[in-house]
């Protein structure tokens, strides 16, 4: 008797408050085997935005734990590369640098490049590195590579401060074009994420990817006008060079910050299109492979 009463009471409460605590309607999920290409479910990603925030926060917090130099690592890599490039390519190789002192010419490219290459490397390993999480809990898997790439922005900021310091030292004043800078950071982010989505999803199935990523970043670095200017190429090749989206990013950084007079507009347009294609295809490929992640990771 008592139990039926509580059941009725419970039902009454249930009709008053349609769901647990926050008054949202009771969620309904239909589970079935999915076939072929599936939607990106970006709305669900938005629902999980707090998790995304915590994953980024975790990556940032943990990145330099138990290291002696800590955050300095964010600066050391691009800075030392710049020193090496300046000595070998700038001084010895006499490579032109669009009329800008070679050290700052290369460093302005290395800052977004380092952000990109680290983002790409870490995104590629993000799923395999979180295998336990993927096997034991559900969340939109897209959150994983996105969080690792976004967490790299903190490192980028630190390396960028050094760039600002160098600009002051060389007496280079940015022009109004600097307002375009966020666009180029976004372009680097989209490129890193697009590639990261492809590679992270492949890495789940083929661990070969882990061994390939260092090659990819190395080749890509030389295929990007970091140590040399893209103005070495003649048209239309220079514009086509934009198919490598990082070419657009690097030229964009130089144009906005250092005021290079090389009119990188066409490169940048091509780069934006290429990056977008990379992101969209990467996202769909990732979603398509996602259904097997928990079983084979």
Partner 1 sequence: MSDIAIHLENLSKQYHIGKKQEKYRTLRDTLTEAFAAPFRRAGNLLRGQAAGAADLEETIWALRDVSLEIKQGEVVGIIGRNGAGKSTLLKILSRITEPTCGSADIYGRVGSLLEVGTGFHDELTGRENVYLNGAILGMKRAEIDRKFDEIVAFSEVEKFIDTPVKHYSSGMYLRLAFAVAAHLEPEILLVDEVLAVGDARFQKKCLDKMEDVGQQGRTVLFVSHNMPAITRLCGRAILLDGGGVVEDGPSQQVVGVYLTSDTSTMSLREWPDPQKAPGGEVARLRVVRVRSEEGRIIEVADIRQPFTVEMEYEVLRSGYVLLPHFYFWNQEGVCVFGTLDLDPAWRGRPRPAGRYVSAVHIPANLLSDGMMFVNAALLTQAPSILQFWERSVVAFQVIETFDDDSARGDFTGQIGGVVRPLLQWSTKFSPDGDEAISG
Binding residues (CB under 8 A) for partner 1: these are 7, 10-11, 14-15, 18-21, 26-34, 50-51, 53-54, 57-58, 61-62, 65-66, 132-139, 205-206, 291, 294-296
What is the smallest separation between the CB atom of 292 and partner 1, expressed in angstroms?
8
CA distance 220 to 226: 10
Q: How far is the CB of 58 from partner 1 (least distance, A)?
A: 6
Q: Which is nearer to partner 1, 134 or 146 (CB)?
A: 134
| Residues written for the chain | 297
How far is the C-alpha of 66 from the C-alpha of 62, rounded, in Å?
9
At closest approach, how far in Å is the CB of 50 from partner 1?
5
58 backbone dihedrals φ, ψ, rounded to 5° = -65, -45
Q: Return the number of the residue (18 or 93) whose C-beta is nearest partner 1.
A: 18
CB nearer partner 1, residue 128 or residue 294: 294
Helix (H, G, I), strand (E, B) or coil at 50: helix
User: How far, in Å, CA of 116 to CA of 114, rounded?
Assistant: 5
Which lies closer to partner 1 via its Cβ, residue 29 or residue 176? 29
End-to-end CA distance of the chain: 51
Taking the complex as a whole, the smallest distance from the CB of residue 119 to partner 1 amounts, in Å, to 20
Least distance (Å) from partner 1 to the CB of residue 262?
42
Q: Which of 148, 224 has the CB closer to partner 1? A: 148
3-class SS of residue 95: coil
Helix residue ranges per DSSP H, 223-264: 237-240, 245-253
């Amino acid at each position: 008797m008592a139990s039926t009463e509580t059941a009725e009471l419970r039902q009454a409460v249930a009709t008053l408050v349609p769901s647990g605590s926050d008054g949202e309607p009771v969620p309904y999920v239909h589970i079935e085997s999915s076939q072929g290409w599936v939607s990106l479910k970006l709305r669900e990603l938005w629902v999980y935005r707090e998790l995304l925030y915590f994953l980024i926060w975790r990556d940032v917090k943990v990145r330099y734990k138990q290291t002696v130099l800590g955050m300095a690592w964010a600066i050391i890599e691009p800075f030392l590369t710049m020193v090496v490039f300046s000595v070998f390519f700038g001084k010895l190789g006499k490579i032109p640098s669009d009329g800008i002192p070679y050290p700052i010419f290369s460093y302005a490219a290395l800052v977004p490049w380092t952000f990109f290459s680290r983002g790409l490397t870490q995104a590629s390993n993000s799923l395999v590195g979180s295998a336990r999480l993927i096997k034991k809990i559900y969340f939109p898997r897209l959150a994983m590579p996105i969080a690792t790439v976004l967490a790299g922005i903190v490192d980028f900021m630190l390396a960028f401060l050094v760039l600002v310091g160098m600009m002051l030292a060389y007496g280079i004043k940015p022009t109004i074009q600097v307002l375009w800078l966020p666009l180029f950071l976004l372009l680097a982010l989209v490129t890193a994420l697009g590639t990261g989505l492809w590679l992270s999803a492949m890495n789940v199935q083929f661990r070969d990817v882990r061994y390939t990523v260092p090659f990819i970043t190395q080749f890509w670095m030389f295929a990007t006008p970091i140590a040399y200017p893209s103005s070495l190429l003649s048209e239309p090749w220079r514009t086509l060079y934009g198919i490598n989206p990082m070419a657009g990013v690097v030229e964009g950084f130089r144009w906005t910050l250092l005021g290079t007079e090389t009119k990188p507009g066409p490169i940048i347009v091509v780069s934006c299109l290429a990056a977008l294609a990379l992101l969209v295809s990467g996202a769909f490929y990732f979603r398509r492979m996602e259904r097997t992640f928990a079983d084979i990771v």
